């Protein structure tokens, strides 16, 4: 009882108890020497790891030109933060990315209309952009990192990124993916299929956090940030 009360007071002041299952505590216990931020957007995730006292190297990937320009400007203030204008997937080449009114939804895939309605987002494509795509294995082939935190938030393209990162996964200590419980994009894996595949890669769940909830049922999640540790 007293322990729970103490944790509540600490949390109110932004202080994490040493044994709390928080992302900050997880990050501190993995001895991470490189954070790979796939789907960097405006750098929100990179900034969040800095806020949790991670001072090591970050490499963010963002394919969309206008978004990348803002990301590049932000990263220029941090000498340990590298950015690349690049999509990642299972094979190299060029791909066409769909642009949406909400830039955080930009994707190589089409939004599912029914789920978009439950999430209260506009599913209409407002434009497209042709971008280069590479495999993570090729990009990080010469990087010396041995304990990687791999974050993938690619709006439905997570499986392809993982398929192109088999060598990188052998050096990965922690895996963070945004996974929907409803089909946010058309023709993609289900939540349970994603968990089974990640299990087959040698990772097990560590923490789940609700990202978005249903407009018509706000007590229920549409997406989770799913953090996995190596078995």
Give residue 19's pLDDT: 63
Q: What is the pLDDT of residue 115?
A: 86
User: In this model, does residue 94 exceed pLDDT 80?
Assistant: yes
Which pLDDT score, from 0 to 100, does residue 13 have?
54
Report the C-alpha gap between 225 and 227 in whole angstroms.
7
User: What percentage of the chain has pLDDT greater than the value 90?
Assistant: 76
Q: Which residues contact 189 (CB under 8 A, 6 or more apart)?
A: 159, 197
The answer as to whether 219 is a domain residue is yes
The answer to whether residue 85 sits within a structural domain is yes
Tens digits of residue pLDDT in 171-210: 999 999 999 898 889 888 999 999 999 999 999 999 999 9
**DSSP 8-state assignment for residue 19:** T
Query: Closest by alpha carbon to 81, among 55, 51, 54, 58?
Result: 58
Residue 8 lies in a domain: no
Domain assignment present for residue 194? The answer is yes
Q: Give the chain's end-to-end CA distance (angstroms, integer).
A: 32
Angle, alpha carbons 216-180-112 (nearest 5°):
70
CATH assignment of the domain containing 105: 3.40.50.150
Instruction: Give the model confidence (pLDDT) of 50-67 as tens digits.
Output: 999 999 999 999 999 999
Domain count, the chain: 1
Residue ranges making up the domain that contains 183: 20-230
Tell me the per-residue pLDDT of 66-76, one tens digit each, with 9 for 90 and over.
Answer: 999 999 999 99
Is there a domain that residue 11 lies in? Answer: no
Residue 119 pLDDT exceeds 90? no
Give me the pLDDT at residue 118, please.
84
Confidence at residue 12, expressed as pLDDT on a 0 to 100 scale? 54
Taking the C-alpha atoms of residue 87 and residue 82, their distance in angstroms, rounded to an integer, is: 15
83 contact partners, CB below 8 Å, separation of at least 6? 40, 59, 60, 61, 62, 68, 71, 72, 75
Asked if residue 189 is part of any domain, the answer here is yes
Say what the pLDDT of residue 222 is. 87
Q: Which residue has the tokens 């706000």?
A: 218
SS3 breakdown of the chain: % helix, strand, coil, rounded to 5? 30, 35, 35
Q: Is 164 exposed, middle or buried (0-12, 13-18, 19+ CB in 10 A)?
A: buried
Q: What pTM was computed for the model?
A: 0.89
- Is residue 137's pLDDT more than 60? yes
For every residue of 131-146, DSSP letters joined together read: EEEE-HHHHTTT---S
Confidence of residue 5 (pLDDT cuts 50, 70, 90): low
Q: Is residue 108 one of the residues assigned to a domain? A: yes
Flag whether 32 is in a domain: yes
């Amino acid at each position: 009882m007293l322990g729970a009360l103490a944790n509540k007071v600490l949390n109110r002041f932004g202080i994490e108890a040493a044994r709390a299952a928080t992302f900050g505590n997880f990050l501190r216990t993995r001895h991470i020497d490189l954070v790979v931020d796939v789907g960097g957007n405006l750098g929100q995730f990179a900034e969040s790891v800095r806020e949790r006292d991670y001072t090591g190297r970050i490499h963010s990937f963002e394919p969309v030109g206008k978004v990348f320009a803002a990301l590049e400007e932000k990263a220029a203030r941090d000498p340990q933060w590298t950015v690349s204008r690049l999509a990642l997937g299972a094979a190299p080449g060029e791909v066409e990315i769909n642009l949406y009114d909400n830039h955080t939804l930009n994707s190589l895939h089409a939004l599912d209309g029914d789920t978009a309605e439950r999430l209260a987002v506009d599913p209409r494509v407002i434009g497209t952009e042709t971008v280069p795509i590479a495999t993570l294995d090729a990009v990080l082939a010469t990087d010396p990192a041995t304990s990687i935190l791999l974050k993938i938030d690619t709006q439905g393209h997570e499986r392809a990124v993982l398929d192109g990162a088999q060598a990188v996964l052998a050096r990965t200590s922690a895996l963070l993916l945004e996974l929907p419980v409803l089909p946010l994009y058309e023709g993609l894996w289900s939540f349970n299929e994603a968990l089974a595949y990640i299990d087959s890669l040698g990772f097990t769940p560590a923490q789940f956090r609700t990202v978005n909830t249903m407009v018509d049922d706000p007590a229920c999640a549409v997406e989770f940030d799913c953090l996995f540790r190596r078995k």
